[in-house]
């Protein structure tokens, strides 16, 4: 609704978090769709997402919302990982979020998940996990 009315999806709050970051942090999978719909396929990138929709696969998003960092240097994927929101993390990865991104302390998404006790996400990030 707000996006239809012209709200700026790239505008960050006082903590540096965009609407996509808040959706990821809170685990609101349904809120990701309209925000990710702003992303369009970058030149030379795959034209379909893993779920069959258009866009994604290396998408270029307005204002860099997919990789926007808050004041702690955390991306939406990092926030989802730290909070244990696997479905949100999967969706962000499908859209091309960088699993190797590190926050200001040097922690990547896998380490954030591990430190928060969300070991089930480690396999998702493919970091030293043997099955």
Q: Taking residues 59-64, report their average pLDDT.
A: 57
Q: Determine phi and psi for 24, rounding to 5 degrees.
A: -65, -45
Separation between Cα atoms, residue 5 and residue 1, nearest integer Å: 6
Q: How many CB atoms lie within 10 A of CB 50?
A: 14
Which residues, other chains included, contact 9 with Cβ-Cβ below 8 Å and sequence gap of 6+? 3, 18, 19, 20, 35, 38, 62, 63, 65
Note the pLDDT tens digit of each residue in 69-106: 999 999 999 999 999 999 999 999 888 889 999 999 99
Q: Classify residue 108: in a domain, yes or no.
A: yes
Identify whether 35 is part of a domain.
yes
97-108 residue pLDDT tens: 899 999 999 999
Tokens encoding 129: 């996990």
Q: Residue 12: inside a domain, yes or no? A: no
Give the domain range for residue 66: 19-125
Q: Is residue 74 part of a domain?
A: yes
Higher pLDDT, 111 or 57: 111
* 13: in domain: no
pLDDT at residue 7 tops 60 = no
DSSP 41: P
Structure tokens at 65: 């919302």
- Quote the number of domains for the chain: 1
Does residue 1 belong to any structural domain of this protein?
no
CATH number of residue 82's parent domain:
1.25.40.20
Tokens found for residue 94: 């499908």
- Residue written as token pair 């970058």: 42
Distance CA 10, CA 2 (A): 13
Report yes or no on 11 lying in a domain.
no
8, part of any domain:
no
């Amino acid at each position: 609704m707000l996006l239809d009315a012209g709200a700026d999806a790239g505008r960050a709050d006082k903590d540096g978090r965009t609407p996509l970051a808040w959706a990821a942090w809170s685990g609101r999978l349904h809120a990701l769709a309209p925000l990710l719909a702003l992303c369009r396929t970058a030149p030379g990138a795959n034209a379909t997402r893993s779920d069959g929709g258009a866009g994604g696969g290396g998408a270029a998003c307005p204002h860099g919302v997919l990789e926007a960092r808050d004041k702690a240097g955390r991306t939406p994927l990092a926030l989802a990982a730290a909070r244990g929101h696997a479905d949100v993390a999967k969706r962000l990865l499908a859209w091309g979020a960088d699993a190797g991104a590190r926050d200001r302390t040097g922690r990547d998404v896998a380490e954030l998940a591990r430190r928060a006790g969300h070991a089930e996400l480690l396999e998702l990030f493919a970091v030293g996990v043997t099955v």
